[in-house]
């Protein structure tokens, strides 16, 4: 059998090799899966992972899908580094979308350059408030933040649905459960004319740069790192343990809320019950695949965006359910976690003992 020993130092190269190994393993798995369900694996992999990159439309959609993933994952990475588990980013995203969207609708049809900034602000506040609920219970009573944040996701999705079926329903919409289409002052500018690619993507990149700077150069990054390694050490450095809990949820809530409003004022353009499509959960994979590193998260966000677009392509061209996206994402996270073992630990073979 084999034995794992913790390595004293972790080589820097593993930052790149582990995600690449994980992607490779997942592709092999998908290859076998396609063989099993009787599809041509080479063709299927080409349609899912390559073809979307060959057209302007595909590339622009890639940016559209990557934007929320990158932004949410950036926020989550702080908590994950610090050992605080916010699993409810999907809920904070939904609340951000709802608060931001409701603000835009409240000023319909007023035009003004201030409407978007205001709605962004309200959405971020909404995301923070939603994230503060599990943080408060965690800090005050040590209630499990994983379960509370997750339950709040279901509540948020139902809340959005209740609002869209109720007060925010389009008065001229023949009773369909959707809001008005946002007017021009409530819609994000497009970067490439004729596509849905909007300036939210630039904001995501900007945030990644900002996060990179904070973690590298600022005392804040030090606190985050120390908290993840040992909560006791954080206390010695002069911060209470609850500091990191609150901070993690505030940051991840704010980022998820921002991603929510970007989603509704960008590609969606109105409030509908189906706004939450799982970005909040996929962003967890993005954060891990990007090694909790802001630049890594940008690449990982683009890759996972590709699985969404590829899933849609597989649905149209191969007649597969777009659940193939979920399968690939799950396998990717599995492979990544398994591959991590080989970077954090030294694997040594040992002889089987007779009494095993």
* Neighbour-count burial of 166, counting CB atoms closer than 10 A to its CB (0-12 exposed, 13-18 middle, 19+ buried): exposed
Q: What angle do CA 97, 152, 252 make, to 5 degrees?
A: 60
Token pair in block for residue 222: 């030090």
For the bound state, the minimum distance from the C-beta of residue 221 to other proteins, rounded and expressed in Å, comes to: 21
Q: Which of 24, 109, 337, 346 binds other proteins (CB under 8 A)?
A: 337
Structure tokens at 47: 């349609």
* Shortest separation between residue 139's beta carbon and other proteins, angstroms: 11
**Which tokens go with 220?**
């804040």
- Rule CB under 8 A: choose which of 284, 292, 298, 309 binds other proteins: 284
Q: Is 85 in the site for other proteins (CB under 8 A)?
A: yes
- 99 touching other proteins, by CB under 8 A: no
Q: How far is the CB of 148 from other proteins (least distance, A)?
A: 5
Residues 6+ apart with CB under 8 A from 45: 27, 30, 31, 34
Distinct helix (H) and strand (E) counts, the chain: 13, 2
316 makes contact with other proteins (CB under 8 A): no
Among the residue ranges 111-119, 121-129, 153-161, 185-193, the one whose residues contact other proteins (CB under 8 A): 153-161
Out of 8, 12, 13, 166, point to the residue binding other proteins (CB under 8 A).
166
Cα 166 to its chain centre, rounded Å, is 29
Q: How far is CA 161 from the centre of its chain?
A: 21
Nearest to 304 by CA among 317, 321, 292, 287: 287
Q: Total binding residues for other proteins by CB under 8 A?
A: 53
- Per CB under 8 A, the segment of 7-15, 214-222, 230-238, 337-345 that binds other proteins is 337-345
Residue 147 interacts with other proteins (CB under 8 A)?
A: yes
Instruction: Mention every residue, 6+ apart, whose C-beta is less than 8 A from residue 150.
Output: 87, 88, 91
**Shorter beta-carbon distance to other proteins: residue 221 or 326:** 326
> Could you say which of 17, 55, 110, 143 contacts other proteins (CB under 8 A)?
143
Q: Is 308 in the site for other proteins (CB under 8 A)?
A: no
Among 11, 184, 236, 350, indicate the residue that binds other proteins (CB under 8 A): 350
CA distance 214 to 175: 48
Q: Which of 158, 206, 210, 274 binds other proteins (CB under 8 A)?
A: 158
- In degrees, to the nearest 5, what angle opens at C-alpha 114 toward C-alphas 294 and 96? 50
Q: Which positions from 3 through 62 interact with other proteins, judged by CB under 8 A? A: 3-4, 6, 37
Q: Which of 40, 142, 240, 241 binds other proteins (CB under 8 A)?
A: 142
Q: How many Cβ atoms are within 10 Å of 239's Cβ, its own excluded?
A: 16
Burial of 113 (0-12, 13-18, 19+ CB in 10 A): exposed
CB 332 within 8 A of CB 285: yes
Element spanning 351, H or E: none
Among 16, 114, 154, 222, binds other proteins (CB under 8 A): 154
Task: Report the residue from 108, 159, 243, 246 that binds other proteins according to the rule CB under 8 A.
Answer: 159
Q: Is 346 in the site for other proteins (CB under 8 A)?
A: no
Task: For the CB of residue 157, give the shortest distance to other proteins in the complex, in Å.
Answer: 9
Residue (207 or 287) nearer to other proteins, CB: 287
CA of 118: how far to CAs of 18, 45, 102, 187, in Å? 41, 43, 11, 13
230 lines the binding site for other proteins (CB under 8 A):
no
Residue identified by tokens 């084999």 is 2
CB of 134 to other proteins, least distance (A): 9
Asked whether position 309 contacts other proteins by CB under 8 A, the answer is no
Whose structure tokens read 């900007």? 206
Chain residues in the site for other proteins (CB under 8 A) = 1-4, 6, 37, 85, 87, 133, 137, 141-144, 146-148, 150-152, 154-155, 158-159, 161-162, 165-166, 281, 284-285, 288, 320-321, 323-331, 333-334, 337-338, 340-341, 344-345, 350, 356
């Amino acid at each position: 059998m084999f034995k794992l020993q913790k390595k004293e130092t972790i080589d820097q190269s593993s930052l790149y090799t582990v995600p690449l190994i994980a992607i490779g393993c997942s592709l092999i798995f998908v290859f076998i899966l396609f063989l099993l369900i009787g599809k041509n694996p080479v063709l299927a992999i080409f349609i899912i992972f390559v073809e979307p990159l060959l057209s302007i439309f595909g590339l622009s959609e890639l940016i559209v899908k990557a934007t929320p993933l990158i932004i949410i994952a950036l926020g989550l990475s702080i908590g994950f580094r610090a050992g605080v588990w916010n699993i409810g980013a999907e809920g904070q995203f939904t609340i951000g979308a709802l608060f931001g969207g409701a603000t835009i609708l409240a000023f319909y049809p007023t035009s003004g350059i201030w409407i978007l900034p205001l709605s962004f602000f309200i959405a971020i506040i909404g995301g923070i408030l939603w994230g503060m609920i599990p943080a408060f219970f965690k800090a005050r009573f040590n209630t499990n933040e994983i379960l509370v944040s997750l339950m709040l996701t279901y509540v948020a999705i139902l809340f959005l649905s209740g609002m869209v079926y109720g007060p925010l329903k389009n008065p001229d919409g023949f009773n369909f459960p959707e809001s008005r289409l946002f007017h021009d002052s409530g819609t994000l500018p497009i970067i490439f004319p004729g596509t849905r690619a909007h300036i939210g993507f630039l904001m995501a990149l900007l945030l990644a740069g900002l996060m990179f700077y904070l973690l590298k150069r600022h005392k804040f990054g030090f606190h985050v790192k120390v908290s993840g390694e040992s909560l006791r050490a954080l206390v010695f450095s002069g911060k209470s343990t609850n500091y990191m809990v609150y901070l993690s949820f505030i940051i991840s809530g704010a980022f998820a809320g921002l991603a929510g409003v970007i989603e509704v004022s960008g590609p969606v353009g109105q409030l509908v019950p189906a706004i939450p499509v799982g970005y909040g959960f996929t962003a967890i994979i993005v954060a891990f695949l990007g090694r909790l590193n802001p630049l890594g998260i940008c690449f990982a966000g683009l890759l996972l965006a590709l699985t969404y677009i590829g899933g849609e392509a597989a649905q149209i061209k191969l007649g597969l359910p777009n659940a193939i996206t979920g399968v690939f994402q799950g396998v990717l996270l599995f492979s990544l976690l398994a591959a991590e073992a080989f970077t954090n630990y030294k694997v040594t073979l040992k002889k089987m003992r007779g009494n095993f």
